[in-house]
Chains A and B, each alone.
Chain A
Amino acid sequence: MKLGTRIMGAGFATAALMTAAAMVSPVDAKTRVAVGATETISSHNPHGDSISMGYGIWCQVYGCLGFFDFKTGSYKGMLAERWEIDKKDPNVWTFYLRKGLKRHNDGKELTSADVVHSFWRMKNDPQSRQTQNVKHVAKTEALDKYTVRVTTKKPTAPLLEFLFDRVMITSKDLYDKHGSKIADRKHPWGWGPYKLKKIEIGQRIVLEKDPGNRWASKSMPDELMFRVMREAEQRVTALLNKEIQIAQFIPPHLASRIAKSKNANLVPTSSVELMFLAMSPKHKPWDNATLRKAVCHAINRDAIIKAILKGQANRLDAPIGQGQYGYDPEAAKKMKVEYDVAKGKALLKKAGMVGLKVELHTPVGRYVNDKQVTESMIPMLKAIGLDARLKTPEWATLWANVQKGKVPFFYMGRGGVVDPSPAFAQYFETNGSPRIGFSNANVDRLLQKERATFDPEARKKVLNQAFAEIVKHQPACFMWRHKLLYGIAKNVSYKPTPTGRIWGYAISVK
Chain B
Amino acid sequence: MTNSVLPQSAREPVTGGTEHMRDFRKALGPWLKPKIIVGGTFVLLLCFMGVFSPLISPYDPNAQNLLNTLQPPGWWAGENFLGTDHVGRDILSRIFFGARISLIIAITVVLISGVVGVALGAISGYFAGHIDFGIQKLVEVVWAFPPLLLAIAIVAFFGQSLIILIVALVVQRWIPYCRVARGQALSLRTRDFVDAARSLGASNGRIIGVHILPNLLQAALVIGTFAMASAIISEASLSFLGLGVPPEIPTWGSMLADGRTYISTSWWLALFPGLCIFFTVLGINMLGDGMRDIFDPRLKRSGTGTG
Give Cα A495 to B111, complex, Å: 59
Chain A 243-254 per-residue mask, 1 if CB under 8 angstroms from chain B, else 0:
000000001011
Residue ID in chain B nearest A372 by CB atoms: B86
**Contact partner of B264 among A233, A304, A372, CB < 8 A?**
A233
Cα-based distance from A257 to B160 in the complex (angstroms): 35
B87 to chain A minimum Cβ distance, whole angstroms, is 5
Asked if A378 and B248 sit within 8 Å, CB to CB, the answer is: yes
Give Cα A304–Cα B87 distance, bound, in whole angstroms. Answer: 9
How many Å lie between the Cα of A254 and that of B63 in the bound state?
Answer: 25
Interface bracket on B? 20 to 34
Query: Does B87 contact A375, Cβ atoms closer than 8 Å?
Result: yes
Instruction: Name the B residues within 8 Å of A376 (CB-CB).
Output: 64, 66, 87
User: How far apart sit A253 and B87, CA to CA, in the bound complex (Å)?
Assistant: 13
User: Which segment of A47-55, A280-288, A388-396, A419-427 sits at the interface?
Assistant: A388-396
Once the chains bind, are B265 and A394 in contact (CB under 8 Å)?
no
Known: A391-B246, A392-B242. A372 touches B87 (CB 8 A): yes
Q: Is the interface of B mostly helix, strand, loop or mixed?
A: loop
Judged by a CB distance under 8 angstroms, whether A72 is at the interface is: no
Give the nearest-CB partner of A380 in chain B: B64
Assess whether B67 is interfacial by the CB under 8 Å rule: yes
Interface of chain B residues 49 through 83 with chain A (CB within 8 A): 62-64, 66-67, 69-70
What chain A residues lie within 8 Å of B226 (beta carbons)?
none
Query: Which residues of A in the span 224-262 have a Cβ within 8 Å of any Cβ on B?
Result: 231-233, 236-237, 251, 253-254, 256-257
A231 & B260 in contact (Cβ 8 Å cutoff): yes
Cβ proximity bits A299-311 to B, threshold 8 Å, 1 near / 0 not: 0000110111000
**Out of A233, A256, A257, A392, which one reaches B261, CB within 8 Å?**
A233
Docked pose: A142 CA to B260 CA in angstroms: 55
Complex CA–CA separation, A371 to B258 (angstroms): 9
Do the beta carbons of A390 and B246 come within 8 Å of each other?
yes
Residues in chain B near residue A256, CB distance under 8 A: 265
Q: Tell me the minimal C-beta distance from B15 to chain A in angstroms.
A: 66
In angstroms, how far is the closest chain A Cβ from the Cβ of B236?
Answer: 16
In the complex, whether B27 has a CB less than 8 A from a CB of chain A is no
> Does chain B have a CB within 8 A of A25?
no
Q: Does chain A have a CB within 8 A of B263?
A: yes
> Is B247's beta carbon under 8 Å from chain A?
yes
Q: Which of A253, A375, A389 contacts B266 (CB 8 A)?
A: A253
A397 sits at the interface (CB 8 A): yes
Q: Is the CB of B156 within 8 A of A394?
A: yes
Interface flags, B240-262, vs A, CB<8A=1, else 0: 00110011100000000010111
The minimal Cβ–Cβ distance linking B159 to chain A, given in whole angstroms, is 8
| Chain A residues within an 8 Å CB radius of B63 | 379
Decide: A391 and B160 in contact? CB cutoff 8 A. Answer: yes
Whether A232 pairs with B261 at a CB distance below 8 angstroms is yes
In the complex, what distance in Å separates the CA atom of A253 from the CA atom of B266? 9
| Known contacts A231-B260, A394-B156; A308 and B247 CB within 8 A of each other | no
List, sorted by A's number, 18 A–B pairs whose CB atoms are closer than 8 Å.
A253-B70, A253-B262, A254-B265, A256-B265, A307-B69, A308-B87, A369-B86, A371-B247, A371-B258, A375-B87, A376-B87, A378-B248, A379-B62, A379-B64, A390-B246, A391-B246, A392-B247, A397-B156
Residues of B near any A CB (own CB < 8 A): 62-64, 66-67, 69-70, 86-88, 156, 160, 242-243, 246-248, 258, 260-266
